[in-house]
């Protein structure tokens, strides 16, 4: 087993330096796991680390998923087959720029639950989840012949709360389920006091200022082993922002400092991958910052798994301290598949009965209240007044398209500086429709209770209007019937087909479209927002493709000036800001 004593890790009673890289199995298609892990091993690392997102494995309360992207045991076994050790971080909360930090949205249906605390109701949900999850790790523990050498308790808890009873509960859960393995907590240097347990190893998360960070750790727990559980070598991007990069030489220089100190290191990220579907999170500070679909992170491998200058710089440093393996020759490649015509289409409004789930209530209900996790919610009511009526936008989370009598009026967004708007109702009896997009729940900080849709009734023309219809559109079902494009209301689905000889990775360049979601063969690749950036193209992993007859579906929310897209062989992240 892995142990720690006198500032040193030991494995089988021999000094051991953890050299690890983060790969999130849920951000990379299973067919690519081996390729990414081979590249990790070829760098000279001995361990792979991954988070475990609760909302992926229990998407609805009591319904568990452990296949496909959620096949955590398959990922662990792939690492074991390559001779790698594994660190697992199965905290109920993971942050990771992932939707709601990995917490399932159904927790928000109970407005009294106190998340990330020793609240008995919250703990009962965690206990139920852990009863399904934790036993799966037991056969993969190192002492049972598997690769798992360590597991984390919660995640950066000191940056959120101070409930030691909660952390103790999680530790006892591991013990109750037979997870006799090395345990640790991780926090930024400024938060280790609140996020640690007395009898559990404390590790640090940082990207620079090595000496100051370890001095803080020594002052808190003298003789602690020096480990950076997250060595931040890049950063994530958000819509309407710029693409973040970190100089390869700068990241490698800090890594050399860590090697000089014989510190253990986990690169965050070694390979970032993709926020498929609706699983991007958001940071909410002064304003709301939804994370883009790509989780490239300017890491050691690109989103599609290509080796970077930063990878080579780190390998060069590592070669000064140990023998590094030969480079791994990947057989994967990307290819341009050319033009795809998307001339068939149907309005979302014309397919609601097929793809939406209807609920009626006296007032509008949030997504969580109607058991909807992600996607879009259409709210509909009757306004029996005419003229110009003002309304506040505080209830809208996050972005909404407003229609009166079927005619588009305006778009409102949570970040709009003006918190009131005016709508025109031309008739004595009018139909008001509000289509709300959940652009990703907050994954960090004080806004974790980030309910979506309309979070309360809207105050319209100095009064409330009652009796609402709601249609939950999660896009787990796509329309079956399309027709040649005609003028119809947006949002609209567009459909086309294409061939992909060789089934290589590719990228969708949807220039001419505005904002929406892309699907290939029914798989939700994620969001695009071409007028916002920085991401301009969406990654398509080759294993999702067929040699012939692939179906591309585009849900365009706003407007399109074209009826085709291009499949190209390179990504594009516009503009750059140095981290």
Query: The domain spanning residue 207 has which CATH number?
Result: 3.20.20.80
Residue span of the structural domain in which 57 resides? 2-318
Q: Are residues 459 and 490 in the same domain?
A: no
Q: What is the DSSP string of 68-136?
A: GGG-HHHHHHHHHHTT-EEEEE--S---TTBGGGG--GGGGGSTT--TTS--HHHHHHHHHHHHHHGGG
Q: Are residues 118 and 258 in the same domain?
A: yes
* Structure confidence at residue 573 as a pLDDT band (50, 70, 90): confident
Do the domain assignments include residue 329?
no
**How far, in Å, CA of 216 to CA of 19, rounded?**
22
Q: Are residues 284 and 384 in the same domain?
A: no
Q: Are residues 277 and 423 in the same domain?
A: no
Do the domain assignments include residue 367?
yes
Q: Are residues 428 and 524 in the same domain?
A: no
Q: Which of 438, 473, 508 represents a domain boundary (last residue)?
A: 473
pLDDT above 70 (res 575): no
Distances (CA, A) of 420 to 93, 414, 450, 459: 35, 11, 21, 10
Q: Which of 421, 446, 473 represents a domain boundary (last residue)?
A: 473
Q: Are residues 144 and 14 in the same domain?
A: yes
Of 49, 156, 344, 474, which is the active-site residue? 156
Q: How many helices (H) and strands (E) does the chain have?
A: 10, 35
Query: What average pLDDT does this structure show over 419-423?
Result: 97
- pLDDT, position 274: 98
Do the domain assignments include residue 185?
yes
Q: Are residues 275 and 222 in the same domain?
A: yes
Q: Are residues 290 and 413 in the same domain?
A: no
- pLDDT, position 488: 83
pLDDT above 90 (res 572): no
Q: Is 139 helix (H, G, I), strand (E, B) or coil?
A: helix
* Structure confidence at residue 576 as a pLDDT band (50, 70, 90): low
The answer to whether 389 and 461 have CB atoms below 8 angstroms apart is yes
Q: Are residues 13 and 39 in the same domain?
A: yes
Query: What average pLDDT does this structure show over 12-35?
Result: 98
- pLDDT, position 128: 98
Of 230, 369, 433, 437, which is the active-site residue? 230
* Structure confidence at residue 149 as a pLDDT band (50, 70, 90): very high
Give per-residue burial for 352-381: e unless 16+ CB within 10 Å, then b: beebbeebeeeebbbbbbbebbbbbbbbbb
Q: Are residues 311 and 427 in the same domain?
A: no
E strand map for 373-531: 376-383, 387-392, 396-397, 399-404, 407-413, 420-425, 430-437, 453-454, 468-473, 483-484, 492-498, 506-509, 515-520, 523-529
398 upstream amide cis, omega within 30 of 0: yes
| Long-range pairs, 462-466, Cβ under 8 A, ≥24 | 462/390, 464/363, 465/381, 465/382, 465/383, 465/432, 466/362, 466/363, 466/381
pLDDT above 70 (res 521): yes
Do the domain assignments include residue 323?
no
* Mean per-residue pLDDT over the chain, rounded: 97
Q: How many CA atoms lie within 13 A of 216 on its CB side?
A: 19
In the chain, the percentage of residues whose pLDDT exceeds 70 is 99
pTM greater than 0.85:
yes
Do the domain assignments include residue 435?
yes
Q: What total of structural domains would you count in the chain?
A: 3
Q: Are residues 463 and 531 in the same domain?
A: no
**How far, in Å, CA of 559 to CA of 564, rounded?**
13
491 upstream amide cis, omega within 30 of 0: yes
Q: Is 383 helix (H, G, I), strand (E, B) or coil?
A: strand
Do the domain assignments include residue 325?
no
Q: What residues have CB less than 8 Å from 565, skipping those under 6 apart? A: 339, 340, 342, 496, 508, 509, 510, 511, 512, 513, 552, 554
**Would you call 156 a catalytic residue per the annotation?**
yes
The β-bridge relationship of strands 264-271 and 227-232 is parallel
Q: What residues have CB less than 8 Å from 381, skipping those under 6 apart? A: 364, 431, 432, 465, 466, 467, 468, 469
**Would you call 230 a catalytic residue per the annotation?**
yes
Query: What average pLDDT does this structure show over 264-285?
Result: 98
Give the single-character DSSP code of 489.
Answer: P
Q: Which of 437, 149, 145, 417 is nearest to 290 (CA)?
A: 437
Lowest mean pLDDT among 173-182, 212-221, 375-384, 482-491: 482-491
Do the domain assignments include residue 328?
no
CATH of the domain at 515: 2.60.120.260
Dihedral sign (CA 39, 44, 46, 48): negative
Lowest mean pLDDT among 67-81, 237-251, 278-292, 484-498: 484-498
pLDDT above 80 (res 166): yes
* Structure confidence at residue 550 as a pLDDT band (50, 70, 90): very high
Do the domain assignments include residue 61?
yes
Q: Are residues 502 and 431 in the same domain?
A: no
- pLDDT, position 579: 57
Using only C-alpha atoms, the chain has a radius of gyration, in whole angstroms, of 25
Q: Which of 450, 473, 496 represents a domain boundary (last residue)?
A: 473
Over residues 314-373, the pLDDT tens digits come to 999 999 999 999 999 999 999 999 999 999 999 999 999 999 999 999 999 999 999 999
**How far, in Å, CA of 468 to CA of 383, rounded?**
11
Q: Which of 437, 107, 57 is nearest to 239 (CA)?
A: 437
**How far, in Å, CA of 194 to CA of 467, rounded?**
47
The β-bridge relationship of strands 148-152 and 85-89 is parallel
């Amino acid at each position: 087993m892995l142990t720690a004593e006198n500032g040193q890790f030991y494995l089988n009673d021999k000094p051991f330096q953890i050299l690890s890289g983060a790969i999130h199995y849920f951000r990379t298609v299973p067919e690519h796991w081996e390729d990414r892990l081979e590249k990790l091993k070829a760098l000279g690392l001995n361990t792979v680390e991954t988070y475990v997102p609760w909302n992926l494995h229990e998407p609805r309360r009591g319904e568990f998923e452990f296949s496909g992207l959620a096949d955590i045991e398959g990922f662990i076994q792939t690492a074991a087959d390559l001779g790698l050790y594994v660190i697992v971080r199965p905290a109920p909360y993971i942050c990771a720029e992932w939707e709601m930090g990995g917490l399932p949205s159904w927790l928000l249906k109970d407005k009294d639950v106190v998340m990330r605390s020793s609240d008995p109701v919250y703990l009962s949900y965690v206990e139920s989840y852990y009863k399904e999850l934790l036993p799966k790790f037991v056969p993969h523990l190192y002492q049972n012949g598997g690769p798992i050498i360590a597991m984390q308790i919660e995640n950066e808890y000191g940056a959120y709360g101070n409930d030691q009873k909660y952390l103790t509960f999680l530790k006892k859960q591991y013990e109750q389920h037979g997870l006799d393995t090395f345990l640790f907590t991780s926090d930024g240097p400024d938060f280790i006091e609140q996020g640690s347990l007395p009898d559990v190893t404390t590790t640090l998360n940082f990207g620079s200022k090595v000496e100051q960070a370890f001095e803080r750790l020594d002052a808190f727990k003298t003789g602690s082993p020096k480990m950076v559980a997250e060595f931040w070598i890049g950063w994530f991007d958000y819509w309407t922002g710029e693409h973040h990069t970190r100089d390869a030489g700068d990241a490698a220089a800090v890594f050399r400092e860590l090697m000089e100190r014989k510190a253990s290191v986990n690169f965050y990220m070694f390979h970032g991958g993709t926020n498929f579907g609706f699983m991007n999170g958001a940071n909410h500070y002064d304003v709301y910052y939804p994370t883009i679909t790509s989780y490239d992170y300017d890491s050691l491998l690109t989103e599609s798994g290509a080796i970077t200058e930063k990878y080579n710089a780190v390998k060069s440093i590592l070669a000064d301290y140990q023998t590094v393996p030969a480079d791994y020759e990947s057989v994967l490649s990307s290819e341009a598949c050319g033009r795809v015509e998307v001339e068939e289409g149907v309005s979302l409004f014309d397919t609601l009965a097929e793809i939406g789930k209807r609920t009626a209530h006296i007032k509008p209900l949030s997504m969580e209240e109607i058991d909807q996790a992600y996607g879009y919610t259409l709210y509909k009511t009757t306004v029996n007044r005419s003229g110009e009526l003002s309304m506040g936008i505080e209830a809208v989370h996050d972005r909404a398209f407003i229609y009166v009598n079927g005619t588009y009026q305006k778009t409102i967004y949570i970040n709009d500086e003006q918190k009131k708007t005016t709508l025109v109702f031309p008739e004595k009896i009018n139909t008001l429709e509000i289509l709300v997009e959940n652009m990703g729940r907050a994954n960090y900080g004080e806004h974790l209770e980030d309910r979506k849709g309309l979070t309360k009734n809207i105050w319209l023309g100095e009064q409330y209007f009652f009796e609402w219809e709601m249609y939950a559109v999660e896009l787990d079902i796509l329309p079956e019937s399309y027709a040649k494009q005609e003028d119809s209301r947006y949002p609209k689905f567009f459909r086309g087909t294409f061939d992909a000889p060789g089934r290589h990775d590719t990228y969708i360049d949807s220039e001419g479209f505005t904002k929406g979601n892309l699907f290939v063969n029914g798989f939700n690749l994620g969001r695009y927002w071409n007028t916002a950036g920085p991401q301009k193209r969406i990654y398509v992993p080759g294993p999702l493709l067929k040699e012939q007859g692939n179906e591309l579906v585009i849900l365009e929310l706003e407007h399109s000036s074209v009826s085709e897209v291009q499949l190209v062989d390179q990504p594009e992240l516009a503009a750059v800001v140095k981290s």
